[in-house]
Homo-oligomer: A and B are copies of this chain.
Amino acid sequence: MEKNIEKFMTSTDCPVRNVLDRFGDKWSILVVLVLGEKGTMRFNEINKTIGDVSQKMLTVTLRTLEADGLVSRQVFPEIPPRVEYELTHLGISLVPHIHNLAAWANDNLGEIRTSREKFKV
């Protein structure tokens, strides 16, 4: 992992690239984070919690996360419909890493903002 990073990077089989490409979209990480905090949630609940995600993209994001095995989807055959989402064990195992990243963000936002201001000038 330390030596031939070059080959790792350019390869389409690079695990980091493979997963990063998938989570490098606009909403996936945030959805995992929210489900990690609140446990089981319904579609509109996730939508409102995040606030500025479109229905379309939330649908796409949840389907992708389901396909990847990070989120489970349970449909209740009622009218109006009820669909509940929650993290799988795989999804849960990712949460601490996102929390670490979030904590870093929290700790360093001040410095980042200062830097952004300086750069403008």
Contacts and interface: CB of A to CB of B under 8 A. Distances in A.
B49 A109 contact: no
Interface in A50-68: 50-52, 66-68
A106 interface: yes
Interface string A89-121: 010011001001110111011011011100100
A20 interface: yes
Contact of A50 (B9, B29, B106): B9
Interface string A29-64: 110011001100000000011111000000000000
Given A97-B101, A106-B15, A115-B69, A5 B34 contact: yes
The main secondary structure of chain A at its interface with chain B is helix
Task: Report copies per complex.
Answer: 2
B33 A16 contact: yes
A24 interface: yes
Contacts of A16: 30, 33, 102, 105-106
5 contacts: A1-B106, A9-B34, A10-B50, A69-B111, A97-B101
Given A15-B109, A24-B29, 15 more contacts: A5-B37, A9-B50, A16-B30, A16-B33, A16-B105, A18-B109, A19-B104, A66-B119, A67-B116, A90-B111, A90-B112, A94-B108, A97-B100, A97-B101, A97-B104
